Homo-oligomer: A and B are copies of this chain.
Amino acid sequence: MASLGRSIDELMQALRCLPGVGPKSAQRMTFHLLDKQRDGAQRLLDALAQALDKVQPCQRCQILSEQTLCERCSDPQRRQDQLCIVEMPSDVIAIEQATHYQGQFFVLSGHLSPLDGIGPEALGIPKLLTWLDSGQLEEVILATNPTVEGEATAHYISELVRARQIKVTRLAHGIPLGGELEYVDSGTLSHAFSGRESI
């Protein structure tokens, strides 16, 4: 569409860096911010400035944090011999809320995706290797997403871990608790069936 002025065009363009935001929604967001939501826009401006200034990946585990070393990494009470590897910061929270896990975390911030130019470097694998070589770890728990990319990433990392004689585990696949068999997808069902346990 034709221009409404340089500042408006630039804001529309800049909003496109947000995941899932195409030209149409960037335009809608721009009008919304500058027209109906001036207060919201100012709040967003302040929050973004603040977060860009204060938040960075933890030097050790890569979770987003306001400290150089996040609260988990600087907590001497946590087990040092277990390391759980996840894709996103939100996975850390989900695991902490669902389990009693008290070990270390490592946040990849994504998964291997060669087509998008996301290789081991981008996920912080060199930093992970240093950790694996430290001799502190007895078990590495792979908790990437059960997607093709997540599984491929887990496989890649498992080779690196195994080469260092450290035990590797991954989250069990199977039927979700509380689900009904007929609604479970067939891949999961087949996996759960062949992996059946004696009771």
Contact = CB atoms under 8 A, between A and B. Distances in A.
A65 interface: yes
B35 A64 contact: yes
Contact of A47 (B14, B55, B66, B89): B14
Contact of A4 (B17, B20, B48, B65): B65
Nearest to A20: B25
Given A32-B19, A109-B36, A63 B14 contact: no
B17 A44 contact: yes
Instruction: Please state the number of chain copies in the assembly.
Output: 2
A181 interface: no
A166 interface: no
Contact of A14 (B1, B32, B40): B40
A5 B41 contact: no
A109 B10 contact: no
A8 interface: yes
Interface in A12-29: 13-15, 17-20, 25, 27-29
Nearest to A24: B90
Contacts of A18: 29, 32-33, 40, 44
A17 B37 contact: yes
A25 B29 CA distance: 14
B41 A4 contact: no
Interface of A: 1-2, 4-8, 10-11, 13-15, 17-20, 25, 27-38, 40-52, 54-57, 63-66, 88-90, 93-94, 96-97, 109-110
